[in-house]
Amino acid sequence: MFQTFEAATRPEQGPPRVAALRREMAAAGLDGFLVPRADAHQGEYVAPRDARLAWLSGFTGSAGFCAVLGHVAGLFVDGRYRTQVKAQVADCFTPLPWPEVTLAPWLREQLPEGGKIGYDPWLHTAGEIAKTCALLEGSGITLVAGENLVDRIWPDQPGPPMAPVTAHPPEFAGESSAAKRERLAGILRKAGHRAAVLTLPDSIMWLLNIRGGDIPHNPLAHGFAILHESGRVELFMAEQKLVHLAPPLDSGVVLHEPGALLAALTDLDGPVRIDEGSVPQIVAETLGERAVAGPDPCALPKARKNAAEIAGSIAAHLRDGAALVETLAWIDAQAPGTISEIDVVRRLEQERRKDPALRDISFETIAGTGANGAIIHYRVTEATNAVLDAGDLLVLDSGGQYVDGTTDVTRTIAIGSPGGEERAAFTRVLQGMIAMSRLRWPGGLAGRDIEAIGRMPLWLAGQDFGHGLGHGVGAYLCVHEGPQRLSRASTVAIEPGMILSNEPGYYREGAFGIRIENLLVAERSDSPGADPAREWLSWRTLTLAPIDRRLILPEMLTEAEREWLDAYHREVAAEIAPRVSPAARDWLAAVTAPL
């Protein structure tokens, strides 16, 4: 459970694997090869078969890529993983801060005389390749599409995932697949597009009201689709995944094997819409001049949750909150030094599994105590498992995939008596979380326009954190859903029905970590006095779980912040107490008392 893949990716295995890859590069006449953490569907999560970056390097983060040259192997990782990568990879890899350091300038520096860099055109998006080629112009460095060289040297590479597909019930979907297809076909017709190519699994799942199991913890099935302007869909998916689907797909969906995609693209009349940020380069090459750039037509409709999806998420969060409260009460009842991170993970997953609506956890539970809490996406293994000692903080980030909704919640917990520095940092993180939760803003603003509000209390103290303030969340789909985000890079306007996380943090490498996370749904705000000429939005908090008051310095909070926290805790107590055991109910009453 805690080290199955790590056993195949020990740091000492990196050097011989890199050496084998370099021999394949030499045989192919290449000076380098790109190894992304990506699959042909360009989703965030990959199946074991596609975990090439992890197999080669040992790095198991959810984002990054490696550029293996003859003399250096640059491993590009973002701020979430710069502590983690140091512990996971051998010295033959050079970790690089990405996006501060980007691929094209780095290649120019490493290959001043030029060279040929190989890549698998299924694993890189059309936009990525176009941008990189433009930045390499005049350098003598060329990108060469071809066979995946990692697959040549991976002797026991797993086979393609073949989990069965199930129907997503209409009471939770809130709209039939036929209605979705017609609605989106209208978008294509209005734009003058004959068809759109869909490669993101969550788009296909949402459009067809189906769910799969090809990716751990995300109810996705691998496949491709072409949505035509008529509303007809061609689905490219292994038939064996669909044999037990009940009810079966309707006559508006025509099934093909996945290998038939490129031939079908060749036969399409243009213009054909492709999302250059998610469609593989080989799709763009096959379509040629018939391809036109445009957003995935499913992306925004999927992000704008309908009433049934919001109601399902509210219900799922109530049950999920009860499971978390049972676990938090249990942790608090254990003496410091008597339980470990793995004990916490097992207990929390045990509590969630009591709910018959649970289909899976929504990601590998993060339970990091002490220095492990400073690793933003830490995943406990038998080798790293730490005991919860007095004075430590525990970062517990977890979630569930329920048939009616997806949850993601983080709480930081004091083990014994916390230190003053930890309490001050925690209070600043809490102030940022409250500031975003209370926000009212004019319609049309994107994540980049408001994200700093959740950072301001930390910035005033000269502190920050190396991840976005929040990500989109699906409706029994991906726990990380685009295109909506609370990040400096997001230009997508936040609209009613979008669900996002609100998760400021602070991390002191080698010492402790802090993160507080709630999920929020955007809704229209009709507060008195608002400018009637503009649409105004505010948040409804979905997550219901207590925030550890032992870590709060009350004198740092304003009156409005205290009022928000006390009101939130009253709601948590009222909604969750009837759903938990008597012991957890007594604990909850104590920890949600007014500050």
Q: What is the CATH number of the domain that holds 179?
A: 3.40.350.10
Residues 547 and 509 grouped into a single domain: yes
Both 100 and 188 in a single domain? no
Give residue 308's pLDDT.
98
Contact yes or no for 56/18 (Cβ under 8 A)? yes
| 427/418 Cα distance (integer angstroms) | 12
For residue 106, count other CB atoms closer than 10 A to its CB: 18
> Are residues 90 and 118 both part of a single domain?
yes
Whole-angstrom CA distances from 6 to 12, 14, 218 are 12, 12, 20
383/426 same-domain check: yes
Q: Is residue 593 part of a domain?
A: no
Span between the terminal Cα atoms of the chain, in Å? 39
Which of 276, 298, 320 is the C-terminal boundary of a domain? 298
Phi-psi region of 510 (alpha: psi -120 to 50; beta: other; left: phi over 0): left
In a domain, 342, yes or no: yes
**447 & 570 share domain:** yes
pLDDT in tens, the chain (595 residues): 444 444 456 788 889 999 999 999 999 999 999 999 999 998 888 999 999 999 999 998 888 999 999 999 999 998 888 888 888 888 899 999 998 999 999 999 999 999 999 999 999 999 999 999 999 999 999 999 999 999 999 999 999 999 999 999 999 999 999 999 999 999 999 999 999 999 999 999 999 999 999 999 999 999 999 999 999 999 999 999 999 999 999 999 999 999 999 999 999 999 999 999 999 999 999 999 999 999 999 999 999 999 999 999 999 999 999 999 999 999 999 999 999 999 999 999 999 999 999 999 999 999 999 999 999 989 999 999 999 999 999 999 999 999 999 999 999 999 999 999 999 999 999 999 999 999 999 999 999 999 999 999 999 999 999 999 999 999 999 999 999 999 999 999 999 999 999 999 999 999 999 999 999 999 999 877 778 888 999 999 999 999 999 999 999 999 999 999 999 999 999 999 999 999 999 999 999 999 9
Indicate if 127 and 224 belong to the same structural domain: no
Q: Is residue 573 part of a domain?
A: yes
Whole domain around residue 286: which residue ranges? 166-298
Nearest to 20 by CA among 157, 150, 146, 110: 150
Q: Are the beta carbons of 151 and 123 closer than 8 angstroms? A: no
pTM beyond 0.95, yes or no: no
Angstrom distance (rounded) from CA 373 to CA 367: 7
**578 CB burial (10 A radius; 0-12, 13-18, 19+):** exposed
Query: Is residue 245 domain-shared with residue 326, that is, in the same domain?
Result: no
Q: Phi then psi for 49, rounded to 5 degrees? A: -60, -35
Domain boundary among 240, 270, 298: 298
The answer to whether position 195 is within a domain reads yes
pLDDT value for 99: 87
Q: Which pLDDT score is estimated for 527?
A: 75
Question: Beta-carbon neighbour count of residue 382 at 10 Å?
Answer: 11
In this structure, the answer to whether residues 173 and 282 fall within a common structural domain is yes
- DSSP label at 163? P
pLDDT for the residue 175: 98
Residues 272 and 312 placed together within one structural domain of the fold = no
* Other Cβ atoms closer than 10 A to 134: 9
Show Cβ contacts of residue 235 under 8 Å, excluding neighbours closer than 6 positions: 204, 208, 223, 224, 225, 249, 253, 254, 255, 256
217 part of a folded domain: yes
What is the tally of structural domains in the chain? 3
Q: Are strands 65-69 and 73-77 parallel, antiparallel or unpaired?
A: antiparallel
pLDDT tens by residue, 362-382: 999 999 999 999 999 899 999
Three-state secondary structure along 172-225? Answer: HHCCCHHHHHHHHHHHHHHHCCCEEEECCHHHHHHHHCEECCCECCECCCCCEE
Which of 153, 180, 198 is the C-terminal boundary of a domain?
Answer: 153
Contact 479, 493 (CB under 8 A): no
Cis-peptide, bond into residue 483, ω within 30° of zero: yes
Name residue 436's amino acid: M
- What's the pLDDT at 526? 83
Q: Are both 487 and 391 inside the same structural domain?
A: yes
Cβ–Cβ < 8 Å for 356, 582: no
- What is the rounded distance in angstroms from the CA atom of residue 160 to the CA atom of residue 381? 26
Q: With respect to residue 158, please indicate whether it lies within any of the assigned structural domains.
A: no
Residues 168, 245: Cα–Cα separation, whole Å: 10
User: What is the per-residue DSSP string for 292-331?
Assistant: EE---TTHHHHHS--HHHHHHHHHHHHHHHHHHHHHHHHH
Half-sphere exposure of 220 (CA within 13 A, CB side): 27
Instruction: Clarify whether residues 310 and 440 are in a common domain.
Output: yes
Q: Check which CATH number belongs to the domain holding 559 and give it.
A: 3.90.230.10
Q: Give the single-character DSSP code of 259.
A: G
246 and 385 in a common domain: no
The answer to the question of residue 591 being in a domain is: no
136 domain residue, yes or no: yes
